[in-house]
Amino acid sequence: MIKLTNDYQKKLADIKPSANHLTYQAKINSGSFYTPSQLVNYVWKFINPFLTKNTTVLDTSSGKGNFFINQKNKNLSLIAVDNDQWAVNYLKENFSFLQIIQKNALTDIKRTNYGISENQNLIIIGNPPYNDLTSLKARKIKENFTTNLVIDPQIKSRDLGISFLRSYYHLKADYVCILHPLSYLIKETNFNHLKEFKNNYRLLKSLAIDSKKFTDAKGASFPIAISLYQLDNKGMDYEYIKSFSFELEDGRKFSLNSFQFLTGLVSKYPKKSFSSDYLDNLFFFTFRDINSIMRNRTFIQEFNNYSVPIEKDKLKYYAYIDYFKEEFQDTIPFYLRNMDVFYSSEFQEEDWNYFTQRIMVKLENKKPESLNKTPKIKEFESWVAHL
């Protein structure tokens, strides 16, 4: 299991580049978090088998050109695009072998804007900005930010990064190898927002890395995927993603199918009206995934905009989430942090009873000794087949 030891922290510090010309606020708004070379190298390794003479390699959100450092190659046509004037000036000063274009990549999306012909073999690489405007946390950070960025309606989405992925289909890239939050694939709602991208590309390879590898990434770790896609009109559905084998840098693999998720057993979102099937004096704080559970409160006694009503016969599941939070707060590795809470299929009725009893004791401020007994619950790694 990956733990943030001092050594690991030190290694991270060595590899992080930064967009120093921007304030933290401006970086968040434009998603300007530059990619460390170690991660860029994975991208070139993944696309290497598909490079032919005359392939065009395009990065439409190239920032300071990190994906092109030391990549001069007379057989390839390399194009760097960014809408940030400062980044484009930097590129012009530092990369004589690149074609450099200042453009908003999310509008008027066609190959001719980049001088690429229809029959040219095109590979898109990069680390497009991502910023989900719907999350509680992002809303707080961005509340004073009004963007005048034009995004074509055909690719408009709630997350900038999702719009970028969709733009790649409109350029008909033969391969796409980019960094994006793993949540674009593993959260079904996000995955569905990929629309024409998921309908026309197939994931060939995906390596999950820790967001902490980016300098400016504050807050909890979450998984970023380095994903290679191939244009393929079969596309992919969520079942394909569920059985896909995601890789970790240490060679281990995991797939969603090997987890037993609580999804479907609990509801996550606030609801205004509810019936006598629900508890009337106990609620759960709204949540999205493991990271939000680790960050926020669990049970709350007041009814407000964040309160999720609890169905009486489902209390045991919410009680388990509270247990999961406390038990695994420090041990959940980054690559599981955007998943739903999972449990062991071997839990018996007595385990579920234990979770409920435990929460009752907690809410009544009693000492834990008043609990009958602690069931033997194994480390979660053993619940997951492939870890």
Ligand X SMILES: C[S@@+](CC[C@H](N)C(=O)[O-])C[C@H]1O[C@@H](n2cnc3c(N)ncnc32)[C@H](O)[C@@H]1O
Nearer to ligand X, 179 or 319 (CB): 179
Query: Rounded CA gap, 375 and 387, in Å?
Result: 23
Instruction: Give the residues across from 247 on adjacent strands.
Output: 207, 253
Which residue from 250, 191, 247 is spatially nearest to 224, judged by alpha carbons? Answer: 247
For ligand X, which is the closer residue by CB, 81 or 321? 81
**Chain residues in the site for ligand X (CB under 6 A):** 30-35, 59-63, 66-67, 81-84, 87, 104-106, 126-127, 129, 149
CB of 40 to ligand X, least distance (A): 7
- What DSSP string describes 148-181? -----GGG--SBHHHHHHHHHHHTT-SEEEEEEE
Report the length, in residues, of the chain: 387
- Is 86 in a helix, a strand, or coil? helix
Buried b / exposed e along 183-222 (16+ C-beta atoms within 10 A):
bbbbbeebbebbbbbbebbbbbbbbbbbbbbbbbbeeebb
Identity of the residue, 164 or 383, whose beta carbon is nearer to ligand X in the bound complex: 164
Nearer to ligand X, 32 or 292 (CB): 32
Q: Which residue's Cβ lies closest to ligand X?
A: 63
- Shortest CB 185 distance to ligand X, Å: 18
- Please, what is the minimum distance in Å from the beta carbon of residue 208 to ligand X? 17
Residue 96 CB, nearest distance to ligand X (Å)? 19
| Nearest CB to ligand X, comparing residues 15 and 360 | 15
Residue 267 Cβ vs ligand X, minimum distance, rounded to whole Å? 34
| H/E run at residue 285 | strand 278-285
